[in-house]
């Protein structure tokens, strides 16, 4: 699962081939909801995302990803 509040979060999950991306409407989510509704589940907030994931009838094995952040100056 990928949970985020931006379209790029949804795209990141899609590019990483995760089971499902969820967009939360909190933060910047409302701005992107219309654009991602065809490729993500849109939920109200993080607790709603947790509820959705826990209720999912097709659970997946957890994957741990290590992300390296590079600062460009």
- Asked if the model's pLDDT at residue 61 lies above 70, the reply is no
pTM value? 0.74
CB 13 within 8 A of CB 39: no
| Residue 31 tokens, joined | 């701005």
Assess contact for 4 and 10: CB atoms under 8 A.
Answer: yes
73 class by beta-carbon count within 10 Å (0-12 exposed, 13-18 middle, 19+ buried)? exposed
Q: What does the pLDDT look like over 31-60, one tens digit per residue?
A: 999 999 899 999 999 999 999 988 887 666
pLDDT at 48: 94
């Amino acid at each position: 699962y990928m949970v985020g509040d931006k379209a790029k979060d949804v795209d990141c999950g899609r590019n990483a081939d995760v089971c499902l991306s969820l967009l939360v409407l909190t933060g910047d989510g409302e701005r992107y909801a219309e654009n991602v509704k065809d490729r993500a589940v849109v939920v109200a907030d993080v607790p709603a995302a947790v509820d959705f994931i826990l209720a999912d009838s097709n659970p997946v094995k957890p994957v741990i990803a290590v992300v390296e952040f590079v600062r460009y100056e």
